[in-house]
Structure 1
Amino acid sequence: MNKTVLIITSYFPPEIGAASNRIFQLAEGLHNANCNVTVLTPLPNYPTGKIFDDYKGKFTHQSQENGITVNRLWVYASNSKNKLLRLIAMLSYSFSLIWFFMWHKIPKTVIIQSPPLLVAFTSMLFLRKKNRTLILNVSDLWPVAGFELGALKKNFSYKLLEKIEHFNYKKASIILGQSEEILTHITSLYPDKTTFLYRNFPEFKAPVIEHHSESGTLKIVYAGLLGIAQGIYKLCNELDYSGLEFHIYGSGAEQNKIEAFISQHPELPIFFHGRVTREALHQVLMAYDVAIIPLLNRIYGSVPSKIFEYAHLGLPMLYFGGGEGETIIAKHHLGWIAEAGNYEHLNTVISTIKAEHISEERKKMIQKEAVSNFSFKAQMNRFKQLI
């Protein structure tokens, strides 16, 4: 008999970004492993903070997507910087979850995405039963990450979030962590907790790497969320543009500032291409020399999933975020590392990148390393045995 699995998440396609891609791949991987998969998620609204046009005016929406049942619930959508409005948005989804739990039969195996902490807390609180396996998928450590980003201060609210965080860990049957740092943090609190290192490996056929003519100009690309944590606006201000072009794909909170900066500095070789689908992005990325992966501040526990995605594309990386990501880049010879937050060092590292460092042969070596070490299928097989 096939196992039935419910996945509770705040992000899911057609929303863009690492979070929605990660959960979609998890759902699809379990489906391909002969599980009956249902996803519980809000009506799509990220990152715009507005319900997508196809879902406006709906309280709930159910669909079948690639063999997966997707239930979308009402949410008060907002990406406001006002903390109260953000809290109301999270609480609204929590209330929708409670309503769903009351009127639907919940399977014995449930995977719950965290953060957001409040959504995970709601699920843990209402679904905790001895005969149910609650699997907490921790992609970032909150409230620690919030403090390191400058979004939270160590006050009463922080202490409350810590209590919620610990409650979630305590009630989980199994905890998945996307990094060794996350699992180290959790086992320091609950040494006997069953944990599993679940990296955000991509699942797509590695493209054939073709030779591109050398223009003499280093083409650096950033693709992803244009949020505060990534610091792309500051990067635009700090890069030394002699001998390079900087290409940007994505959307987010800093988009208007970035577009305004480009408009005010037409002399700089910065190109903003907007948002494209993941499939289209894979094609356009192949034309660039180096992908930059920045974080404005080093975030404990964070390992950008872009590392594994770009490696499968054979795209050399320039990592500028500190932490465990540096270790992965260095261990697997995926590119260059610049000291987190040190823009002078970043520009120095860029100046050392030569044509022979981004050759077709080098890209093929990176891709081979990814296929050997970042296998989604092998990881999914191990995870399936665990649950």
Structure 2
Amino acid sequence: MKEILIITSYFPPETGAASNRIFHLATGLEKQHFKVSVITPLPNYPKGEIFKAYRGKFKQTTTENTITIHRLWLFASNSKNKVLRLIAMISYSLSLIWFFMWHKIPNTVIVQSPPLLVAFTCMLFLKRKTRKLILNVSDLWPIAGLELGAFKMNFTYKLLEKIEYFNYKKADLILGQSNEILTHIKTLFPEKDLFLYRNYPDFEKPEITTKSLNSKKITVVYAGLLGMAQGIFKLCKSLDYAKIDFHIYGAGAEQQNIIDFISENPLLPITYHGEVSREELHLALINYDLTIIPLLNRIYGSVPSKIFEYAKLGLPVLYFGGGEGETLIEKHHLGWLADAGNYKHLNSVLQSIDKQELGLEKRAEIQQIAKAHFDFNTQLLALKEKL
């Protein structure tokens, strides 16, 4: 049985797209008869605090469904202070180096990037002639950070570019979640072995339903991270509610701002449901008419994994983020598009949608598209040939 190690910064019981992506990869490879182990920090995301059940531990190793999971210490922080965020990444990198010194590492290793510094640590300390290093790139850093306003074009940015270049150079195979990511890497390393690995979900889809929380209005739902990049607080302030009810699930930096806005505007049809488990969320989502996927700014290389998850649920999408995600929605007829950052156009599109277009026939059609084009196991079998 071939051994494979996955190194990631996010893993259940943490929630979110990054955690789900690596969990599905690990369990999928295990079902394909790989002996899988995972290295990840003690759970701390998204609040930036070690989960209560793991506090006081330096390291914990468990076996879950035959997958060995090593959880390592880090200085947890989700602070906006860049120094504290850097310390958090360095602390995990130091824990990784310590682990590498005292444990035998398999000859096949998949490394998640970003964070760039964590990936750099793995590429620097694990490169061997007999070892295959696979870099799984889910977002393009530092480019994405520049577009989000987190970085400026200065010495730090240039240093991060050098780290990014080093990581690509040392990788034997690079997995990219979008064609934009692969195009970018190919401009730097034309001969590098690349593989398009989308964030397709792997779950048993619930039965689709036409149940709606309001018989007259269109029920619109957002579920996910309530961070700066998604701009849900601004969305709450900018939506035209004449024809819709808006429901929100998730947690993140803007959470309190959203709660305060709802409290200060009790007549607006906005409901915040908090954070729920993924299974509970799926059962809730199928009761809504339409989901919205927003990005405050178009981010090169980014394709929200929600596109594929909602397609499997049969849930029509209003996409408000531009880029490759917009291309996917249009190509596969998954819903409606609004110009990124243009709230006037967003409201115009919402007003143009007829609730009758959101019924069982549309949902069944979307699920068939997901089965044909976004199948996790088909993609995994193609990846298996590369490992």
TM-score range, shorter chain: over 0.9
Give the whole-Å Cα distance in 2 for the aligned partners of 1:314 and 1:275.
22
- Measure how far apart 1:79 and its partner are: 0.7
- Measure how far apart 1:357 and its partner are: 1.3
Any conservation in 1 of the 2:210–2:287 contact (CA below 8 Å)? Answer: no
Give the TM-score of the pair, scaled to structure 1: 0.99
Give the whole-Å Cα distance in 2 for the aligned partners of 1:133 and 1:257.
45
Secondary structure in 2 matching 1:365: helix
Which residue matches 1:36? 35
Secondary structure in 2 matching 1:184: helix
Secondary structure in 2 matching 1:26: helix
Give the whole-Å Cα distance in 2 for the aligned partners of 1:66 and 1:147.
40
Secondary structure in 2 matching 1:325: helix
Which residue matches 1:15? 14
Which residue matches 1:86? 85
Give the whole-Å Cα distance in 2 for the aligned partners of 1:112 and 1:179.
17
- Measure how far apart 1:207 and its partner are: 2.1
> 1:1-387 to 2 correspondence within 5 Å?
2-212=1-211, 215-387=215-387
- Measure how far apart 1:323 and its partner are: 0.2
Unaligned 5+ runs, structure 1: none
Give the whole-Å Cα distance in 2 for the aligned partners of 1:116 and 1:157.
15
Secondary structure in 1 matching 2:223: strand
- Measure how far apart 1:126 and its partner are: 0.1
- Measure how far apart 1:92 and its partner are: 0.1
- Measure how far apart 1:142 and its partner are: 0.1
Letter in 1 for 2:204: K
Give the whole-Å Cα distance in 2 for the aligned partners of 1:355 and 1:89.
47
Secondary structure in 1 matching 2:303: coil
- Measure how far apart 1:206 and its partner are: 2.3
- Measure how far apart 1:212 and its partner are: 2.4
Give the whole-Å Cα distance in 2 for the aligned partners of 1:203 and 1:352.
33
Letter in 1 for 2:364: K
- Measure how far apart 1:336 and its partner are: 0.3
Give the whole-Å Cα distance in 1 for the aligned partners of 2:101 and 2:141.
28
- Measure how far apart 1:372 and its partner are: 1.0
- Measure how far apart 1:147 and its partner are: 0.3
C-alpha offsets along residues 71-110 of structure 1, whole Å, 9 cap, x if unaligned? Answer: 0000000111111000000000000000000000000000
- Measure how far apart 1:375 and its partner are: 0.5
Letter in 2 for 1:364: A
Identity %: 66
Any conservation in 1 of the 2:135–2:174 contact (CA below 8 Å)? Answer: yes
Equivalenced residues, count: 386
- Measure how far apart 1:127 and its partner are: 0.3
- Measure how far apart 1:355 and its partner are: 1.8
Any conservation in 1 of the 2:11–2:23 contact (CA below 8 Å)? Answer: yes
Secondary structure in 1 matching 2:336: strand
Secondary structure in 2 matching 1:196: strand
Secondary structure in 1 matching 2:385: helix
- Measure how far apart 1:53 and its partner are: 0.5
Letter in 1 for 2:371: V
Secondary structure in 2 matching 1:386: coil
Give the whole-Å Cα distance in 1 for the aligned partners of 2:141 and 2:317.
27
Letter in 1 for 2:305: S
Give the whole-Å Cα distance in 1 for the aligned partners of 2:350 and 2:67.
44
- Measure how far apart 1:383 and its partner are: 0.3
Secondary structure in 2 matching 1:168: helix
Give the whole-Å Cα distance in 1 for the aligned partners of 2:24 and 2:385.
17
Give the whole-Å Cα distance in 1 for the aligned partners of 2:209 and 2:178.
32
Runs of 4+ in 1 over 3 A off after TM superposition: none
Give the whole-Å Cα distance in 2 for the aligned partners of 1:229 and 1:215.
32
C-alpha offsets along residues 48-84 of structure 1, whole Å, 9 cap, x if unaligned? Answer: 1100000000000011112211000000001111110
- Measure how far apart 1:210 and its partner are: 2.5
Secondary structure in 1 matching 2:280: helix
Secondary structure in 1 matching 2:183: helix
Letter in 1 for 2:374: F
Secondary structure in 2 matching 1:336: strand
- Measure how far apart 1:153 and its partner are: 0.5
- Measure how far apart 1:4 and its partner are: 0.3
Unaligned 5+ runs, structure 2: none
Letter in 2 for 1:25: H
Secondary structure in 2 matching 1:209: coil
Secondary structure in 2 matching 1:251: coil
Secondary structure in 1 matching 2:250: strand
